[in-house]
Structure 1
Amino acid sequence: MSPETYAGNDDAAQRDPNRPIALITGATRGIGRAIAEDLSADHHILVGGTDAARTAAVVAELPSAEPFVADLQDLGAVVTAVTEAGLDSLDVLVHSAGVAATGTLEQTPAQEWQRSFAVNVFAVAELTRLLLPALRTAKGQVIAINSGSGYVSRNGGGLYSATKFALRALTDALREEERGTVRVTSIHPGRVDTDMQVQLQSAMGNEDYDGSRYVAAESVAVTVRTALSMPAEAMVDELAIRPVRG
């Protein structure tokens, strides 16, 4: 692979030609950051985030990385970020950014539905669409961090599950559309010990938070590595990872 260049992106000229390139959204915290740290051992990482300072801080900690800053609710900003990245070839695209809202249908206003679908579904579709030429060039891989809620909807979780059901449909369709060119994997973690989990448990009235009951973010990163490590003739369609303690 040769280093990609794009006028106005100084980071592009500094990409290590010996490292495959991975773009990870939501890479400044939680699951996304764990994935970025794991893949940074042998990939050049584009650290996706909405806050430039937090994104730069993660970039500084990785051996080969650059920022990819965009508000995923703003599809125009996504287009700009992709253009500025100048990616003619992309080996890995990990969709890890997401929002989670709780509440019954009666309690959830239209604005929250729009925000959740904008981040969890629409941004995934648009970012993937924009990067498909680069992914096809590299015969790359798309990995969507979904959820156990992509299979089952529970009381108070209808909105989040709706976005994750939609994300599963999107990745199922993409897998068939790109079969033989771009591999597509959907990863479905159960409850993961992250800041988002703390917020969710608090919203449900569970004040005695015990992170050891849940899957570590680093364990989800291992499942991503597993999917990426498959031989060229094989593909992991879906992977579920659950806490041992239930």
Structure 2
Amino acid sequence: MGTYMITGATGGIGKAVAELLRDRGHDLILTGRSPERLGTLTKALGSGAHAHTQVIIRDRDGAPGAVRTSTPERATIQTIALDLGEPRRLEAALAETSMPDRLDGVIHSAGVVDLGPVAEQDADHWIDQLMVNLVSAAELTRILLPALRAAKGHVVFVNSTAGLQANPNWSAYAASKFGLRALADSLRAEETALQVTTVYPGRTATGMQQKVRAQEGQPYNASDFADPTSVARGVLAAVEMPRDAVVSDITIRPS
């Protein structure tokens, strides 16, 4: 079994990926902004026949830090609260945790969206989306590269169909996703021992989509969109591809 980090693990797609990888028995490092939501997710993943035993890892001052959870099969779940809106602080935050020397994969699924026409998108709207959706993904990848190289690991960027085509009112979000596509392409060419996949989901039934529909002034009906688990299955298929091949790009749209 491997060890995988998932950003945005408490969101729709990130949570679905965590569930599938946990069912496979992989060790997980789950990141998100809210420690409370990470704790709720860890509890949910630890329920059932293979319930986990929780161990609190304390930091250098003895205060409670990351939470590591183990199963009888020795699978673990570690949670790390990270603010991806502050990419300059990520390296210091990770240095205070117990990170593995080998990492089989990282799934970048965190993201934020704030729609609006170019005429009304001020600098803060651009900076907020670029920091979370692009710069933090680049910075985390840089920090994790030694562990990824050690395992000849897999980097998955959960992008968006907005990273393939920019529509009215989507300029800042689409720009961040076009940049994420460029990051993946460059990484793939530079780190030839790694596998790099970009997943382009269409509209998916998540909390983000609820926000998008509200900003568009349209009703939200989950059945109109792809289920997060369907997107997660695409991610899992790419991760489980034999080493003689790599899924470099995959687009998943609601039917």
TM-score strictly above 0.5: yes
Secondary structure at the residue paired with 2:107?
A: strand
Q: Distance in 2 between matches of 1:100 and 1:32?
A: 16
Q: Distance in 2 between matches of 1:185 and 1:82?
A: 24
- 1:75 match: 87
- Structure 1 residues 155-174: aligned runs within 5 Å: 155-174=168-187
2:223 aligned residue (209, 212, 217):
212
Secondary structure at the residue paired with 2:211?
A: helix
- 2:208 match: 196
- Letter aligned with residue 215 of structure 2: A
TM-score, structure 1 normalization: 0.88
- Letter aligned with residue 239 of structure 2: L
Q: Once the 2 structures are TM-superposed, how far is the Cα of residue 74 of structure 1 from its aligned partner? A: 1.6
Q: Against the structure 1 CA distance between its residues 119 and 174, is the aligned structure 2 distance closer, same or farther, given a 3 Å change threshold?
A: same
1:26 aligns with 2:8: yes
- 2:242 match: 231
- 2:45 match: 62
Secondary structure at the residue paired with 1:85?
A: coil
1:148, 1:189 within 8 Å by CA — same for their partners in 2?
A: yes
1:132 aligned residue (145, 148, 152):
145
Q: Once the 2 structures are TM-superposed, how far is the Cα of residue 85 of structure 1 from its aligned partner? A: 3.1
- Letter aligned with residue 132 of structure 1: L
Q: Once the 2 structures are TM-superposed, how far is the Cα of residue 60 of structure 1 from its aligned partner? A: 2.1
- Letter aligned with residue 244 of structure 2: E
Q: Distance in 1 between matches of 2:173 and 2:88?
A: 24
Q: Distance in 2 between matches of 1:197 and 1:146?
A: 14
| Residue ranges of structure 2 left out of the alignment (5+ in a row) | 47-75
Q: Distance in 1 between matches of 2:211 and 2:87?
A: 27
Q: Distance in 2 between matches of 1:127 and 1:237?
A: 20
1:53 aligned residue (32, 36, 41):
36
Q: Distance in 1 between matches of 2:94 and 2:185?
A: 24
Q: What is the CA RMSD across the aligned residues, in angstroms? A: 1.0
Q: Distance in 1 between matches of 2:31 and 2:89?
A: 12
Q: Distance in 1 between matches of 2:94 and 2:222?
A: 36
2:11, 2:110 within 8 Å by CA — same for their partners in 1?
A: no
2:100 aligned residue (87, 91, 102):
87
Q: Once the 2 structures are TM-superposed, how far is the Cα of residue 76 of structure 1 from its aligned partner? A: 4.0
1:34, 1:217 within 8 Å by CA — same for their partners in 2?
A: yes
Task: Give identity over the alignment, percent.
Answer: 38
Secondary structure at the residue paired with 1:106?
A: helix
Q: Once the 2 structures are TM-superposed, how far is the Cα of residue 61 of structure 1 from its aligned partner? A: 2.3
Q: Distance in 2 between matches of 1:182 and 1:82?
A: 22
TM-score, structure 2 normalization: 0.85
Q: Once the two structures are superposed, what CA deviation does each residue of 1:108-131 show, in whole Å capped at 9, x if it has no partner? A: 110111111000110000000000
